Structure 1
Amino acid sequence: MKYNKLIFGSLFSLILGTLIYILFRSSSLKVFSWLDLLGINILECNIRKSALAVSYNIPDWVLLSLPDGLWLFSYVCLMLYIWKNTITVQNLFWIGIIPAIAIASEVAQCFGILQGTFDPMDLLLYILGGVLPLLIFKNSINYKLKFQHHEQKF
């Protein structure tokens, strides 16, 4: 049952982030030309036109930052699902690498190390997207963070 919640959390946040992105974001983004190559012209879809008509009522952070936070949430949930809700020294890297890259890239933008515009809301939602799955599912996560000493016999 606990694994079903992880996969649901992963899929729900992935879909919600994607819907926000394709319904409300600028038509100049690359994703729309990629979809067009696949024969999917979302720009002319009535649901997108209706969404854009009400987008002025939605805060910018929801439209611009929330999708990335939701995608990080989705990734962490998926990693926890793949690793059967167990965090070990061996899999901690894989669970944390994408959130760490996202957070580090935003911090690097702040210091001019990477090109881009630092946005504190992006940083906050990256952190939340990486940490919230660990907090939400904390009672079912099995932490095994001690190094295991394995004797090898030759």
Structure 2
Amino acid sequence: MLRLKKSFLLLHVVLPMLVGGLIYVCWRDPGLTMFKWFRALGWEPIILQLRLAAAAGTTALPFWFVYSLPDGLWVYALTAFMGHVWSGSRASVSKIACLGVGPVLGAGSELGQLARLVPGSFDWTDLVFYLAAVALAFFAVARSNSKRSFNEKSNTEDLAFINRVGNFSAVGLRQRVLNEQERFQQ
């Protein structure tokens, strides 16, 4: 059965998302769409208080802290989540695709900006944060449970099972693969 560790999820998924979101709320441009949502939800007074409280430290913050760190944190959280869900399962196309979502969305969007395929301005600092986030997330997952591995090889039974079950969600497919593996081992 798929067991997600709550402590891992809180520390490596929820906390980075909260910190990144707080940085956006406190120090990013109030013209962003999310501030319109806050206004529509009636949260504007709370958001303004947060921004006023954070304003004292605004001048001391480095540029990368406000503009690169939050995006690196969401790439970290997404990659850590996918890595945690899939650790211990055998290699498959689905596993590789799910583990690649964070790196592709983060680094891919930045490289897309460089090639002028994606709107925005390419920034080396952003790219470094995305790549560091991916590496740190994989390291955190590997350390969280030494019995679960990213490196197990697929065997023909796994591949046949994956082909039989078709396309399911990442968590559902991973669980089905693990169940099938247990059945073969018995």
TM-score tier after normalising by the smaller chain length:
0.7 to 0.9
Find the partner of 1:80 among 75, 78, 83: 83
- Equivalents in 2 of 1:137, 1:145: separation in Å? 15
- Equivalents in 2 of 1:143, 1:131: separation in Å? 13
Task: Give the match for residue 57 of structure 1.
Answer: 60
- Give the direction of change, closer, same or farther, for the CA distance of 1:27–1:96 in structure 2 (3 Å limit): same
- Which runs of no fewer than 5 residues in structure 1 stay unpaired? none
Q: CA deviation at 1:95?
A: 2.0
Cα contact 1:27–1:43 (8 A) shared by 2 = no
1:107 maps to 2:99: no
Mark the structure with the bigger radius of gyration. 2
- Which runs of no fewer than 5 residues in structure 2 stay unpaired? 162-186
Task: Give the match for residue 38 of structure 1.
Answer: 41
- Give the direction of change, closer, same or farther, for the CA distance of 1:44–1:66 in structure 2 (3 Å limit): closer
Q: Deviations over 1:73-107 (max 9, x none)?
A: 11122223333x33532312112113212211211
Count of residues in Structure 1 that have an aligned counterpart in Structure 2: 151
Q: CA deviation at 1:25?
A: 0.6
Task: Give the match for residue 28 of structure 2.
Answer: 25
- Give the direction of change, closer, same or farther, for the CA distance of 1:43–1:116 in structure 2 (3 Å limit): farther
1:146 maps to 2:148: no
2:108 maps to amino acid: A
Question: What is the aligned-residue RMSD (CA, Å)?
Answer: 2.3
Find the partner of 2:9 among 4, 7, 14: 7
- % same residue: 25
Structure 1 residue ranges, 4+ long, deviating more than 6 angstroms after superposition: none
- Equivalents in 1 of 2:47, 2:82: separation in Å? 35
Normalised by the size of structure 1, how large is the TM-score?
0.85
Find the partner of 2:97 among 93, 98, 101: 93
- Equivalents in 2 of 1:26, 1:86: separation in Å? 42
Q: CA deviation at 1:113?
A: 2.8
Q: Deviations over 1:2-45 (max 9, x none)?
A: 82442021111011101111011110011100121122115753
